[in-house]
């Protein structure tokens, strides 16, 4: 942890040197002493210190300086460090400026030059001010800070990216923090660009894309080789399991993930039915452990990186990635899972990210403190989100189309929700439309057979209305069922006949698609059980099939 700072400002080199010397001799063990030769330079230094989350305890400035006087300097730095103590160094003739400064700048003290002997005329004043400052001093967070506006889609994307990777960060709402607003305005004078992500070391990033953030965080975003034994598309529970088994069994394995490892499970606050975790495990935790395990065995995890196209060949298949690069492999496992279904109601798409979220309960729950929140959906994912958000929100209303939540939600979850006083079920209720300018303000609900919707104020709405397979990349490459799920193994045999184009003298293996060497597993597969354990089982079984396939090429 770096020491808090005392910044002294004077344009006269000799005076600056003398005050710096006296400050060092008394305070260097607890404070870092810094100096600036002008008000502008002090202001610049203060901004940079704020960007790096450094604490300033005291500004000590000479009044008489060209361009910017001491009073003006302290007035400016006060906007960046409102809690720092401010002391003016004055000549007798400047006493009036100092007195005015006490009111206008919130000056804590003024000292007369010369301050000799410092034991009598400098240290007692500064000791008291520093002691006072220390009493309310809160050490800085020391990690990544995300500064933006609440209810902004771009800010939400950054927060979601970091939280899904379990990267700790401090969230600062620029509308609640004048000092950070000042710093952000200074970074982009032609119009503030938010969010700004500040790092403890190095330059802040303005409106970063997730790919830029990933690179800055040292995540691997490019494949290290052009060819692998096995490429796994998708790092949900299924893809992660496949990578763990494949790499541990010696296959050169590349795992490509479009978003964050963990998939749908990664958005769950508590998975309580996964074997071996009697108290439950958060999806993020499971993803972090599985990613580490896969990489420990030598699997290469690249994210965020989307597989845009698949070209089936023999004996190689090739995947084209969203940066235009290509990777080839003997075998490909498609573990691309499912994506949330969008709610088709007027206003929803415009306000997505600005009060309306798909999933995202983990990253936004804490922003729901004392708010009225609506959750759309009646399955387990909606129930888990309601439980999490109810810890913060004033009230959580669950909107359910059916007569009761029992049909879509596990019994244990229904009981827990019923025992939580600030969650209510609104059955036979659906969203007619949403209302809001820059952010969600109200939802219009249709209840039962009522002909007209009624409007209720709403601060946030989380949508969990099911999912559809993410298999568009395979259209025209392998056989899919009418809903888009990938057909595999016995499901491909119609009346005992092998699929069209199948040239091998054997039936497709269990999890093999209509193209030899391309496998599908997890939620993306036709007929799969949509559960974490099932996806993990599918992923590991697919690796067994890959070995059998590789023995033939
Ligand atoms: C909120 C929530 C809570 C849940 N809770 C539970 C629970 O408590 N217990 C339980 O058993 N199940 C639960 N489920 C279901 C469970 O999470 C899924 O069944 C499981 O995650 C499926 O795993 P998967 O790996 O097959 O697919 P997914 O989890 O969907 O993962 C697929 C991955 O592939 C990536 N991807 C997609 N397309 C591409 C591409 N073109 N290129 C690269 N990557 C791509 C995606 O970004 C994603 O990370 C829950 C689901 C949700 C949404």
pLDDT mean values, one per 10 residues, the chain (553 residues): 92 95 96 97 95 94 93 93 93 78 82 91 94 88 90 89 88 92 88 89 90 92 97 98 98 96 89 90 93 96 97 94 97 96 94 87 85 94 93 96 86 94 96 95 95 96 93 97 96 93 94 98 95 96 97 89
Please state whether beta strands 85-90 and 300-302 pair in parallel, antiparallel, or not at all (unpaired): unpaired
Angle between helix 13-27 and 123-135 (nearest 10): 60
Tell me which of 161, 236, 378 to substitute to probe ligand 1's pocket, judged by most ligand atoms within 8 Å of the beta carbon: 236
Best probe residue, ligand 1, of 257, 264, 304, 463 (max atoms within 8 Å of C-beta): 264
Binding site membership of 384 for ligand 1 (Cβ less than 6 Å): yes
Check pocket membership of 332 for ligand 1, CB cut-off 6 A: no
- Cα distances (angstroms) measured from residue 153 to each of 176, 194, 358, 440: 18, 11, 12, 12
337 CA to middle of ligand 1, Å?
5
- The alpha-helical segments, DSSP class H, found in 89-236 are 95-104, 118-121, 123-135, 153-164, 178-187, 210-216
* In contact, 372 and 459? CB cutoff 8 Å: yes
Measured by CA distance, the residue closest to atom 8 of ligand 1 is: 271
Q: Would you say the CB of residue 259 lies under 6 angstroms from ligand 1?
A: yes
Q: How far apart are CA 424 and CA 438, in angstroms?
A: 27
Nearest atom (ligand 1) to Cα of 240:
25
H or E, element range at 382 = helix 380-389
CA angle (363 as vertex; 358, 365 as ends), nearest 5: 90
Half-sphere exposure at residue 495, Cβ-oriented, CA atoms within 13 angstroms: 1
Ligand 1 contact, 235 CB (< 6 A): yes
User: For ligand 1, is residue 360 a contact (CB within 6 Å)?
Assistant: no
Cα gap 238→469, rounded to integer Å: 14
Cα separation, 247 vs 522, in Å, equals 19
CA distance 256 to 276: 27
Tokens of 394: 């004033």
DSSP 298-322: T-EEE-S--EEEEE--SS-EEEEET
DSSP code, position 43: H
Is 486's C-beta closer than 6 angstroms to any atom of ligand 1? no
On whether the CB atoms of residues 299 and 247 are closer than 8 A, the answer is yes
d(CA 547, CA 212) in angstroms, rounded, equals 36
Residue in 349, 43, 300 with CA at minimum distance from that of residue 186: 43
Would you state the pLDDT for residue 201? 79
Distance 423 CA to ligand 1 centre (A): 26
CA–CA gap between residue 231 and residue 332 (Å, rounded): 5
What does residue 32 show for φ and ψ, rounded to 5 degrees? -95, 130
CB 77 within 8 A of CB 210: no
Longest dimension (CA), the chain: 104
End-to-end CA distance of the chain: 57
| 3-state SS, residue 109 | strand
Name the strand (E) or helix (H) holding 417: helix 411-418
With a 6 Å cutoff on the Cβ, whether 537 touches ligand 1 is no
Residue-level pLDDT at 1: 65
Torsion of CA 360, 365, 370, 376, to 10 degrees: 40
Atom of ligand 1 nearest to the CA of 533: 11
Q: Which two tokens stand for residue 210?
A: 């997730």
| Beta strand extents in 201-304 (DSSP E only) | 205-206, 227-233, 253-256, 300-302
* Atom in ligand 1 nearest the alpha carbon of residue 522: 26
Q: Please list the alpha-helical segments (H only) found in 493-553.
A: 532-550
Q: DSSP labels for 161-173?
A: HHHHTT--EEEEE
CA of 231 to the centre of ligand 1 (A): 18
Alpha carbon distance 169, 162 (integer Å): 8
Q: Which of 528, 551, 552 is nearest to 335 (CA)?
A: 528
Q: Which of 161, 234, 341 is the pocket-test mutation for ligand 1 (most atoms within 8 Å of CB)?
A: 234
Cis ω before 505 (30° cut-off from 0)? no
Which atom of ligand 1 sits closest to the CA of residue 267? 1
Determine the Cα–Cα distance for residues 5 and 427; give it in Å rounded to an integer.
58
Nearest CA to ligand 1 atom 12: 531
Distance 364 CA to ligand 1 centre (A): 19
Is there an atom of ligand 1 within 6 Å of 334 CB? no
Helices 70-80 + 178-187 axis angle, to 10? 100
Ligand 1 neighbourhood includes 387 CB (under 6 angstroms): no
* 3 contact partners, CB below 8 Å, separation of at least 6: 30, 31, 32
The pLDDT score that the predictor gives to residue 119 is 94
Q: How many angstroms is it from 327 CA to the middle of ligand 1? A: 24
């Amino acid at each position: 942890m770096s020491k808090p700072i005392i910044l002294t400002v004077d344009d006269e080199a000799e005076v600056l040197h003398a005050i710096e010397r006296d400050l060092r001799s008394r305070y260097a063990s607890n404070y870092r002493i810094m100096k600036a030769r002008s008000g502008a330079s002090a202001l610049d230094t203060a901004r940079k210190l704020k960007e790096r989350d450094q604490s300033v305890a005291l500004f000590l400035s000479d009044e008489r300086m060209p361009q910017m006087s001491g009073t003006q300097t302290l007035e400016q730095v006060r906007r960046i460090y409102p809690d720092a103590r401010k002391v003016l160094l004055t000549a007798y003739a400047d006493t009036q400026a100092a007195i005015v400064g006490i009111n206008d700048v919130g000056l804590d003290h003024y000292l007369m030059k010369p301050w000799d002997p410092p034991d009598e005329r400098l240290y007692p004043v500064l000791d008291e001010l520093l002691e006072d400052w220390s009493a309310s001093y809160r050490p800085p967070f020391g990690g990544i800070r995300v500064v933006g506006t609440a209810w902004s889609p771009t800010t939400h994307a950054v927060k979601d990216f970091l939280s899904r990777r379990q990267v700790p960060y401090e969230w600062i709402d620029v509308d609640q923090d004048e000092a950070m607003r000042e710093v952000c305005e200074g970074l982009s004078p032609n119009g503030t660009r938010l969010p700004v992500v500040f790092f403890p070391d190095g330059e802040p990033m303005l409106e970063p894309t997730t790919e830029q953030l990933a690179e800055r965080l040292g995540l691997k975003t490019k494949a290290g080789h052009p060819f692998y034994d096995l490429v796994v598309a998708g790092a949900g529970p299924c893809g992660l399991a496949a990578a763990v088994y494949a790499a541990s069994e010696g296959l050169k394995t590349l795992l490509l993930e479009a978003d964050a490892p963990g998939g749908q499970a990664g958005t769950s606050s508590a998975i309580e039915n996964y074997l071996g975790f009697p108290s439950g495990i958060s999806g993020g935790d499971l993803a972090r452990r599985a990613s580490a395990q896969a990489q420990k065995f030598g699997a290469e995890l690249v994210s965020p990186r989307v597989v845009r196209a698949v070209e089936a060949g023999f004996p190689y298949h090739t995947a084209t990635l969203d940066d235009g690069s290509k990777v080839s492999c003997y075998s490909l496992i498609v573990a691309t899972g499912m994506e949330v279904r969008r709610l088709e109601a007027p206003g929803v798409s415009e306000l997505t990210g600005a009060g309306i979220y798909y999933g995202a309960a983990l990253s936004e729950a804490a922003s729901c403190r004392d708010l009225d929140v609506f959750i759309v959906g009646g399955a387990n994912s909606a129930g888990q989100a309601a439980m999490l958000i109810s810890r913060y929100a004033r009230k959580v209303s669950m909107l359910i189309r059916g007569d009761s939540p029992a049909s879509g939600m596990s019994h244990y979850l229904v009981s827990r929700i019923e025992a939580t006083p600030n969650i209510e079920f609104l059955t036979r209720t659906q969203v007619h439309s949403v209302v809001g300018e820059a952010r969600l303000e109200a939802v219009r609900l249709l209840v039962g057979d009522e002909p007209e919707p009624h409007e209720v104020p709403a601060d946030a709405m989380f949508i969990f209305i099911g999912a559809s397979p993410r298999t568009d990349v395979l259209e025209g490459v392998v056989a899919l069922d009418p809903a888009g799920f990938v057909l595999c193994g016995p499901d491909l045999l119609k009346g005992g006949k092998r699929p069209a184009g199948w040239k091998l003298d054997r039936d497709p293996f269990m999890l093999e698609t209509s193209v030899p060497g391309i496998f599908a597993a997890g939620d993306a597969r036709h007929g799969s059980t949509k559960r974490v354990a099932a996806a993990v089982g599918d992923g590991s079984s697919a690796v067994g099939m890959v070995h059998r396939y590789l023995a033939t090429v």
